[in-house]
Chain A
């Protein structure tokens, strides 16, 4: 187990390295930072002065390592638009995103797992078919479109809920539903097929043969094994959540990091976007690391493969 964990941690190092290189390269592709900061009208002398001051005349490799060094020291640079440290700007907006993301994730698990179990237990009955159809629609509807439909129905039509902004529960409900729908569909599908797989195995037949109640067989024997693979898609969920948050926050004017990122891109505030990509990708890498280790801990077969 220790060996597996060490191996797995070592694997993340090149991945993080690659991510940092791509993030760095992306910023350089956006053009001369001096021009971005000082504007197109700046004189050649002031541009040159800025470049000297910020080490932009150094070799690219050196610039990269300086940048990485700064990040390790906790200096993530300043926003071009707000002239404030990026960390501070992100920290102000992170709670809003966490609120939305965690609500959506909770919704997805609380709805998705029981519905998936129900669908598997009632395999091929009317209920199962209805659930599968709804799930297919859920997977086929883009989150931003669902968001617009919700706004059309509950804000424009029924005038029940606000169209956007962050406030109480009434502000949270529509974005959370729009963000979680795709995940709910995914979790229902996954839970259903995982449970069906397990229910076909010999030990379940044995459990049934020795006369255990069906309820006991499903919840005590089958669920234990069926829920393990569910952990693996949690890593995936977070990736969906990040991408979804960017769109959902934009539609519902939710003041989180996703909307901030889109605004930063439109304002050509690229250092902010660079740090956000680095941040999101690192979070996904670390979560996948934790997921893999948990999975290996729960299912010993993984460790020896």
Chain B
């Protein structure tokens, strides 16, 4: 564990130099760790794009947990009389429809917020499935090598070769759309990236002396993998998982757009675009605005993901100082 922090710090230039000159070993390590942490945090927050990204993601999460009864209108009640009310328009009772209504007369603004929870839930669960599957496969593949490694590497190749959208459409068409099915297919279409990264990181960690030492004193493989190898690959996993959120959100919105998303009246933003798609001529807002929400969210996630990579990845850091 200590060694791992040191190894990371060696890459992050000056901190490691100072830790070596530090008189007390235990003090020095704690000091280095906290310094590294504050360096990462301050480097992350030095970029306005990262801050803006975090604010947008916070708004997204807030929308997702926002109580339904506090919304200006009920997002699921169908009201044919108000069908395609334009943006900023009021109904006969004076209630405002900030961004209009959809083809069933439901308030778009309330629906947009109401859909955020499903959008977020599908996204987070899918990335969780992908991360757990991918990391486990990567650890096994890199640590044990041999037959398991070849088998997993071939599976990675197969996964990367499959036209994901088509496969997802087919699987959802067979199994039927729904939350669980959507999460499983999105998760299983994205695990291979983690496996590749974790495998190569595991290979390099495995060669370190302290792994040998841990084995020599009889530490179990599971313990070594979870306590010694996994922390070393935590940064790339975090970066990959953040960027995967954006990718999964895009893939989910495409599937929901095609009508293979979660069951109505619940919906995700992609599903809302799909609903509005047939009414482009009458009500541009019903498909254009949910799409804007997707774009802005994906943009924010990408900002944060890139920011995390710059702050956590020593190699990138060195490049920046070289510039």
B270-308 contacts to A (CB < 8 Å)? 270, 273, 277, 280-281, 284, 287-288, 291, 294-296, 298-299, 302-303
A14 at the interface (CB under 8 A from B): yes
Is A262 touching B169 in the complex (CB atoms < 8 A)? yes
A266 at the interface (CB under 8 A from B): yes
Q: How far is A18 from B160 in the complex, measured between Cα atoms in Å?
A: 12
Set B170, B171, B173, B291: member contacting A148, Cβ < 8 A: B291
With a cutoff of 8 Å between Cβ atoms, the chain B residues found around residue A262 in the complex are 169, 258
Interface string of A21-48 (1 = CB under 8 A from B): 0100010011000000000000000000
With a cutoff of 8 Å between Cβ atoms, the chain B residues found around residue A22 in the complex are 158, 162
Using CB atoms, name the residue of chain B closest to A144. B257
Is A247 touching B277 in the complex (CB atoms < 8 A)? no
Q: How far is A12 from B166 in the complex, measured between Cα atoms in Å?
A: 21
Is B284 touching A144 in the complex (CB atoms < 8 A)? no
Q: How far is A144 from B160 in the complex, measured between Cα atoms in Å?
A: 22
With a cutoff of 8 Å between Cβ atoms, the chain A residues found around residue B213 in the complex are none
Interface string of B168-184 (1 = CB under 8 A from A): 01110110000000000
B163 at the interface (CB under 8 A from A): yes
With a cutoff of 8 Å between Cβ atoms, the chain A residues found around residue B163 in the complex are 239, 242-243, 246, 277, 280-281, 284
With a cutoff of 8 Å between Cβ atoms, the chain B residues found around residue A251 in the complex are 277
A288 at the interface (CB under 8 A from B): yes
A151 at the interface (CB under 8 A from B): yes
With a cutoff of 8 Å between Cβ atoms, the chain A residues found around residue B197 in the complex are none
Q: How far is A92 from B244 in the complex, measured between Cα atoms in Å?
A: 37
Q: How far is A30 from B169 in the complex, measured between Cα atoms in Å?
A: 13
Interface residue SS majority, chain A: helix
Q: Which of B92-100, B113-121, B246-254 lies at the binding interface?
A: B246-254
B6-65 contacts to A (CB < 8 Å)? none
Is B280 touching A152 in the complex (CB atoms < 8 A)? yes
With a cutoff of 8 Å between Cβ atoms, the chain A residues found around residue B167 in the complex are 277
Is B281 touching A156 in the complex (CB atoms < 8 A)? yes
B217 at the interface (CB under 8 A from A): no
Interface string of A259-273 (1 = CB under 8 A from B): 001100110101001
Given contact pairs A19-B158, A243-B163, A284-B163, A265 touches B302 in the complex (Cβ within 8 A)? no
Enumerate 5 A-B pairs (CB-CB under 8 Å) in ascending A order. A152-B280, A243-B165, A277-B163, A277-B170, A285-B161
